[in-house]
Structure 1
Amino acid sequence: MMQINCDSASNKHSLINVMHRFIAAANNMDETIMVPSLLRDMPLEERMSGKMETNNNEPQYPNKQRDMYEHYLLLKSIKNDMEWGLLKREMSSGASFLEMTVKQEEQKPVTGDLTPEENHDLENQFHYHLRGLFGVLSKLTVQADHLTNRYKREIGCGNFIR
């Protein structure tokens, strides 16, 4: 069994740490939100003086999730996929786009005969996807925390926000 180096797990910039932070935020969200149906028809963004709330002057992009309930389900689904992998989802329902892509990649023949250019390309691909994964997991963590805090405010538990 592979062991995780304690130094890399304690490094705040490690992928493992970023994954743990998201899973902890999603677990906290799940433990806090006792009645998820209360999130139905609650808009994702809070209206403040007629404008949408923005973080760090980032442009607001329309989300596929129309309300907080759908966003809650998305965050739970992502957390479950991270914890259980793609196999569990495949067994319980149809394959998603991501799973179909992974299957297509698995079906391609793998040979050990990679040229130096292909090795360099693999390294570039790895770093590109690693940066993307860091960014996505960080944003998902913030969204899970925001959803949890917003739920607390909406049900009147604003005094108990951690």
Structure 2
Amino acid sequence: MQSAEPKNQKSCLVATLSRYTSAVRNMEHTIMLPSLLRDVPQEEPEDSFAAEGNNKDLYEYFLMLKSVRNVVESGLMPPDERKALSVPLETLEDSDPETLFHFHLTGLFSVLNNLTTSSHMLTRRYKEVIGLSN
């Protein structure tokens, strides 16, 4: 089934994050008693994270999806996750999806902060070149 969204919008970060938060919100509204998911194993072989041997039950998976959604919506990284960049990527290959998400999100924040700093520097230098420096 093809989506009505244009292909370029599917790869848009904001649209992807919006689809994710919407899906998790729908999951929360549908699952009225999450505790019923305790001790229910993941059985879908097409789920790459389930197939990798993560032994989480569906309740833990439910909580993880909500936790990631909270980070996406708030834009704030938990303080203990900010040290994730010091961990080599090779050691994260077998990690659970939440750990991988925090690792890559930390990297994305770092790159965007560096690009923002560079943008401010370039703007300041341009103003100096044309004589508008403060």
Structure-2-length-normalised TM-score: 0.51
- Within the alignment, does 1:61 sit opposite 2:59 as a pair? no
1:16 corresponds in structure 2 to 14
1:160 corresponds in structure 2 to none
Q: Secondary structure at the match of 1:42?
A: coil
CA shift digits 1:73-127 (9 cap, x unpaired): 000000001111235x33xxxx13xx2235xx69xx9985xxxxxxxxxxxxxxx
1:5 corresponds in structure 2 to none
Contact 2:9/2:15 (<8 A) preserved: yes
Alignment match of 2:66 (pick from 76, 93, 96): 76
Identity of matched residues, %: 36
Q: Which sections of structure 1, spanning at least 5 residues, go unmatched?
A: 1-7, 46-52, 113-162
- Tell me how far apart the structure 2 counterparts of residues 60 and 72 of structure 1 sit (CA, whole Å): 17
Aligned AA (1:83): E
What's the CA shift for 1:13?
2.5
1:26 corresponds in structure 2 to 24
Q: What value does the CA root-mean-square deviation take over the aligned residues?
A: 3.5
- Tell me how far apart the structure 2 counterparts of residues 57 and 18 of structure 1 sit (CA, whole Å): 19
Contact 2:42/2:50 (<8 A) preserved: no
Written as runs of structure 1 = structure 2, the 5 A alignment for 1:75-154 is: 75-87=65-77, 89-90=78-79, 95-96=80-81, 99-100=82-83, 101=85, 102=106
CA shift digits 1:116-146 (9 cap, x unpaired): xxxxxxxxxxxxxxxxxxxxxxxxxxxxxxx
Higher RCO (C-alpha under 8 Å, 6+ residues apart):
1
